[in-house]
Amino acid sequence: PVKRGPGGDWSRGPTMPFLTQEKLAVMAFDHKYASSGCSVLDGLIMQKFWNYIVAFLPLKHDPGATFHWSAPNTMTLGGLMCTFIPTMVLVYYCPDLESTAPTWVYVLNAAGIFIYQTLDALDGKQARRTGSSSSFGELFDHGCDALSCILGTLGSAVCLQLGYSWSSFILMMCACVAFCGAHIQSYYKGSLTFGLFDVTEIQFLGIFLYMMCAVGDANFWNTELYGVPLKLVPAWFTIVLTSLIILGNMYVTSTRKPVSYASTKVHEIWLGPLLEIGLATGWFASSRHLFNGYDFVLFMLAIGVLNAAHALSLIIAHMAQAAVGWQVLLRFLPLALCATASISQLVPVRQAIHMCLALNLVIFFHYSISVCYQISTFLGIRIFKVGAPTAKDTRKN
């Protein structure tokens, strides 16, 4: 019933068809991105800055080029790399989350956050300017945001020298659950909601932390104020604020009337994040005294990648106006098995962490590549080139 673009048949390819033709059609033709609210910095300064910068991006592109550097999805992926590379450099110098790094590493991370923030804001504006907006671009943007969320939080924990502490763990778990919570609320309300203190403000807080380490002494955060280590102030400020946001998401999804297509019950859709918290907390509590070297970093990356895969399922359910199937919970099986094997001492904790990370990476990339292939082929677009979708909706004919 739908005329697809020139990319070919979505059901034929090297990937698994996670999405039916009906879901693809809803994502392509019925779903419209919607958001409400505006943070303080976005409204006062940043939107003006981003609107000024986007005017310098080209509107015309060479159709014969392999990719376009100013294509929205290219900018989105570039922004992700601007958080991934600096964070990995920082972790290289501070694998125990307590060491200090050279000054240039902190400056690199601060610059990375700012560039990521800018590119993340420009990609949607550039898509609308060039007429290349699509459901794929929205999904690709949110998928990269899911990965950047855990990378940015991990970098902040390293910057504050929180070590393998409960503060580090809770900070990163809050970031994961808050990201899923925002999209759970979006699934029930039909739009993504932004508060007065939101992503932009948290990103600038991260930039401030990095520049404090670069300009002054990185050990500054270990000084005590009335007997309390100074590093715990920004850490727990973020934890408390994020926890309140999560509770707000739970309240809204539990008490407000959902949109018509949100057929998944509230307790079912929140089961994924709660299961993630329970498994990760049990494993961390029983094994953190055995962590050494990069163990904690790899542990949290394994949780973060799993969280990103689950968030993608929530986002797709919202865009396809479909139920969140119970099958998504199967993604938590590797975490459950590896945690059980580690806690029962069947497998050394380091090997269990490596196994968990490897399995979660396979799950994430298989799922994300599969849905990217399906949606882009259905729409008839090239992911890293500027061009309007060519698929035609003939369902009413």
For the annotated catalytic residues, the residue numbers are: 142
Burial, 358: exposed, middle or buried (Cβ in 10 Å; 0-12, 13-18, 19+)? middle
Q: In 3D, which of 174, 199, 194, 187 has the Cα closest to residue 253?
A: 187
Q: Are 75 and 384 in contact (CB under 8 A)?
A: no
Q: In 3D, which of 269, 272, 265, 345 has the Cα closest to residue 303?
A: 272
Backbone torsions φ then ψ of 300, nearest 5 degrees: -70, -30
Any alpha helices (H) in the chain, and if so which ranges? 21-25, 40-41, 47-54, 72-93, 103-130, 135-159, 166-189, 199-215, 232-255, 266-269, 271-287, 295-320, 333-343, 349-379
Q: What is the distance between the alpha carbons of residues 215 and 221, in angstroms, rounded to a whole number?
A: 13
Distances in whole angstroms, Cα of residue 270 to Cα of each of 79, 247, 274: 29, 12, 6
Q: Which tokens go with 167?
A: 């503060």
Helix orientation angle between 135-159 and 199-215, rounded to the nearest 10 degrees: 40
The region that residue 99 occupies, defined by phi over 0 for left and psi between -120 and 50 for alpha, beta otherwise, is beta
Q: What is the distance between the alpha carbons of residues 188 and 87, in angstroms, rounded to a whole number?
A: 34
Q: Which tokens go with 356?
A: 């968990």
CB neighbour list of residue 192: distance below 8 Å, 6 or more residues apart: 34, 35, 36, 182, 183, 186
